[in-house]
Structure 1
Amino acid sequence: MIWQWLGSPTLGRRISVLTALAVACTVALTGVAGWLVTRVSLYQQLDDELTEIASFTSDSVSADISTLGGLDAEALRTVNVSLLVLGTDGSVRRVPGASTSLVWGAEEMAVARLGQGSSAREGRADNGNLYRIVAVPMEIEEEGSYALVIGRPLQPYTSILRSLALVMGTFGGLAAVGSAFIGYAVARSSLRPVRELSGAVSRVTVTDHLDPIEVHGDDELSQLTRSFNTMLSSLSLSRERQRRLIADAGHELRTPLTSLRTNIELLVADDRTGMLPEGARAEILRDVAAQLAEFTTLVGDLVQLAREDRVEPSPEPIDLREVTRNAIERARRRGPGLTFDVELNPLYLIGEPDTLERAITNLLDNAVKFSPPGGTVHVLLEGDRLRISDQGPGITDEDLPHIFDRFYRADSSRNTPGTGLGLSIVATTVARHGGWVRAGRSAEGGAEFTVQLPGSTTLAEVDDEGDETQILTRISD
């Protein structure tokens, strides 16, 4: 195979070779067709000329068969032909002094015996040279039917055909070679974006740098380059999120781990020396339990954030009222002295009930955490929006732009329990369901969170296949 002969060719080399092969095949077919047409035309012209000479000569020969109409060898040489008269009995009469004699065959005998028609073929003379031989019938009174056989050497014509074949082969080869270079140049120019993509992949592999590629033009390869740049941008963003998550997680985990380690070391030392006063050991154990609870919550939030980035979704039709009621029940247990003002109107959507319940629970926990004793938490589900507000100190203007950032905690909440991940989980979950969440101030001065989720007030519309497919796509993304 030609690919084995080429070794492992590049795509540009393959294109140049295929272009050369295509041109060579085209030239070869065109050349063969041209050569055949030329050959047929030359032979047809020669046959017509010989037939005309034979017909003209037969009149004078038939008038005097004994001297063949007075023909001599010099006259035949002038028109470059050889001539003989063939009888039906196989007798042959030749021009006296002729240097060559044609070798007749069955075709010429058939013309002589039938006395009609004509024949034309390639044959040879007695000297072995190739001739074009034509026979026409000739009638002689009182002697019967003959065939006048005339021939001309084919050497001039075969020389023309050989020269034509040589010219066609030479120019065809040059055309194939030239097309190979042109094809290679075109392929090299056209495949420049592919080489840049390959180089970019190599750079990413070797240097780990996600630099985009410069795009020129608007063809298919340029669009491929843009898609590759988009992939690089997404990969860079994902890597940055991962790096930030690891850094923030390491920073947040360090504090409870350090405190937990200090308390455990105190307990170990007290077990050996009895250094702690009465009651201190129980207080340290309570601190350890609280720190373990905080540590468990932090790890759970981190797992949830990691899960949000890569889990395969399992959405289903849900009633957001049921999800919100379950979250409110949890919040009631965590804020027993608070009043919950709840109004839930129908809202059905395609989603993941577990993740949505966790997000709503995080919002309610935030409201419970900052509500004053005896305060009221308002929960309103109306249309496609869920509003949760409290009577706490609210969110300052400086904190609003960062309230949904991972591990961000306002100065006013530094001494309250929490990991700084709850609102980030809310934003991620709502975005995956095709909605949005906003923070602001309530009419009573506290914090108010508004969640918008695409859905419908009737379950029948949610079950529509088109809407479900659209929401499933958003959750998958």
Structure 2
Amino acid sequence: MIRWLRSIISVTNRPLHDRLAALISAAVAGAVAVTGVAAYLITTFTIYRQTDAELIDIASLTSQWIANDVEGMGQLNSDALATANVTLMLVRSDNRTFSPPGSSDVLTVTSAELAIARTQTGTSARTGTDSKGEPYRIVAVPLTDLNNHYALVLGRPLAATDAILRSLAFSLLTFGLLAVLVAGAIGWVIARSGLQPIQRLTEAVTRVSETEQLEAVDVGGMDELTDLSMSFNKMMAALQSSRERQQRLIADAGHELRTPLTSMRTNVELLIADDRQGMLPDGARGEILRDVAAQLGEFTQLIGDLVHLSREDRVEPHPEPIDLRDVVDNAVTRAKRRGPGITFDVELDPLYLVGEPDTLERAITNLLDNAVKFSPVGGTITVRLIGDRLRISDEGPGIADEDLPHVFDRFYRSSSSRNTPGSGLGLSIVAQTIKAHGGWVKAGRSAAGGAEFTIRLPGSSEPPEGSAETTGTIPAVPVTE
């Protein structure tokens, strides 16, 4: 049975709803078979037990009559026995048998009846036959007279009882098969309707693979398949958003790359033309070469920023325990070289965290370079690290209110900064790096009217136990993704 069920489930060349319907039919067939067999056996046992009890009662009562007149069999004859639908005979302890006058049916006697005659204890009940081979239910009770011991054997034909049992078996089989067919049909309908969400998902996946259109599927109901459909729609939305971001990144990158490439191409063509015709005045060739070098630097920076943004939003490759003051000090040192006429007002409290110092230093350097770019000559850039907040502010023109929601978008450049060098990716790198470290960054206006950027990073003002500040060595810290 189990092997048969496995063979049904393992059929892979049929639709799923057909397999479910077959499985339901098999389960119902098993239940009907067990119930039918149990019902048939219980009914048979009950009928035989009731027949035995009735025959034993008749035999016990009859034995009292016959005990007083064994030779005349208690004046019983074949007509009286036929009316009671029983056959009667006596078995003496020496295995001799006696039947009432006129009786033509003789029951087959076995050792069970002979044992009753000899021991005069208990009763027996069994299924046997008569001399014609007809089935009988036969019981025996002890009987004794003044001289001999007997067993009174009483039998009742089982033809009617067997007919009833055959009718019961036929009814159970017929209605069981009908139940299996009905259950299979209902199971097929339920399976087909229940698997409609999966069918819709299959069609949606096929449609996506054929048309590359990321369309959502209809969601209905409140079951697990509905949850699957909702998850599929979320996945489609995420893929659509990712595709749009990718297309926007490619378009923006193409636009931003086109500008330095066009300018570089123009300068290179001028140099080639000058090499052929000597058309440039003195000093112009060197100026063009310096311009080409600057464009190459801008181009290299743009490529590096694009590669950085293409990484997944996670800290990699190996975070380590760091003191953010060291990272900020290194970034300020680099920024001072790019803004020699600008004052840096720096106050740093300790902040210990686990992160990637190189990417954090690059993000903070981007903010400082942005402040240097827009600070006036002789201006001051303020850097404060208090608690888990790092604030960098300048005295430049600040960020317009309409630009604040977009300053961290890739390639976004406000109207006031379009003529300044840069790729428009620096602040996007800052936002991605801080987010990867579990923090956030926001832009606003400083008290002096310039731009102010606030970074929040999860950390502690106390050095970790066993760190270099307490033991003189940097402990090995397990890296968790």
Q: TM-score, normalising length from structure 2?
A: 0.89
- CA drift of 1:89 comes to 2.0
Distance 1:416 1:256 in 2: 13
Q: Which amino acid aligns with 1:92?
A: T
2:313–2:433 CA contact under 8 A, matched in 1? no
1:39 has 2:44 as partner: yes
Alignment of 1:38-437 (within 5 A): 38-142=43-147, 144-309=148-313, 312=316, 314-437=318-441
1:308–1:429 CA contact under 8 A, matched in 2? no
Aligned in 2, Cα 1:213/1:318: closer, same or farther, shift over 3 Å? Answer: farther
- CA drift of 1:412 comes to 2.4
Aligned in 2, Cα 1:383/1:70: closer, same or farther, shift over 3 Å? Answer: same
- CA drift of 1:278 comes to 4.0
Report runs of 4+ in structure 1 exceeding 6 Å deviation. none
Distance 1:314 1:194 in 2: 42
Q: Which amino acid aligns with 1:79?
A: A
- What is the CA deviation profile of residues 392-443 of structure 1, one whole-angstrom value per residue up to 9, with x for unaligned ones? 2222334333222211222322222111111121122223333332223323
1:441 to 441, 445, 448: 445
Q: Tell me, which stretches of 5 or more residues in structure 1 are unaligned?
A: 464-471
- CA drift of 1:181 comes to 2.5
Deviates more, 1:404-413 or 1:309-318: 309-318
Q: Tell me, which stretches of 5 or more residues in structure 2 are unaligned?
A: 468-478
Aligned in 2, Cα 1:424/1:67: closer, same or farther, shift over 3 Å? Answer: same
- CA drift of 1:60 comes to 3.1
1:348–1:462 CA contact under 8 A, matched in 2? no
* 2:458 counterpart residue number: 454
- CA drift of 1:53 comes to 2.1
* RMSD between superposed Cα atoms in Å: 2.5
1:455–1:462 CA contact under 8 A, matched in 2? no
Aligned in 2, Cα 1:398/1:36: closer, same or farther, shift over 3 Å? Answer: closer
Q: TM-score, normalising length from structure 1?
A: 0.90
* 2:471 counterpart residue number: none
Distance 2:258 2:420 in 1: 18
Q: Which amino acid aligns with 1:131?
A: Y
Deviates more, 1:306-315 or 1:26-35: 306-315
Give the secondary-structure state (helix, strand or coil) at the position aligned to 1:318: strand
Give the secondary-structure state (helix, strand or coil) at the position aligned to 1:307: coil
1:23 has 2:15 as partner: no
Distance 2:216 2:27 in 1: 37
Aligned in 2, Cα 1:410/1:316: closer, same or farther, shift over 3 Å? Answer: same
- CA drift of 1:114 comes to 1.4
- What is the CA deviation profile of residues 85-135 of structure 1, one whole-angstrom value per residue up to 9, with x for unaligned ones? 222222222233323211111111111111222211111111111111111
Distance 2:246 2:386 in 1: 36
Give the secondary-structure state (helix, strand or coil) at the position aligned to 1:102: coil
- CA drift of 1:297 comes to 0.5
Q: Which amino acid aligns with 1:113?
A: R
Q: How many residues align?
A: 465
1:347–1:456 CA contact under 8 A, matched in 2? yes
Deviates more, 1:307-316 or 1:151-160: 307-316
Q: Which amino acid aligns with 2:265?
A: R
Distance 1:356 1:128 in 2: 103
- CA drift of 1:324 comes to 0.6
Distance 1:6 1:421 in 2: 56
Distance 1:331 1:382 in 2: 20
- CA drift of 1:249 comes to 0.4
- CA drift of 1:8 comes to 2.9
* 1:466 counterpart residue number: none
Give the secondary-structure state (helix, strand or coil) at the position aligned to 1:420: coil
Aligned in 2, Cα 1:382/1:226: closer, same or farther, shift over 3 Å? Answer: same
1:111–1:137 CA contact under 8 A, matched in 2? yes
- CA drift of 1:49 comes to 1.8
Aligned in 2, Cα 1:440/1:184: closer, same or farther, shift over 3 Å? Answer: same
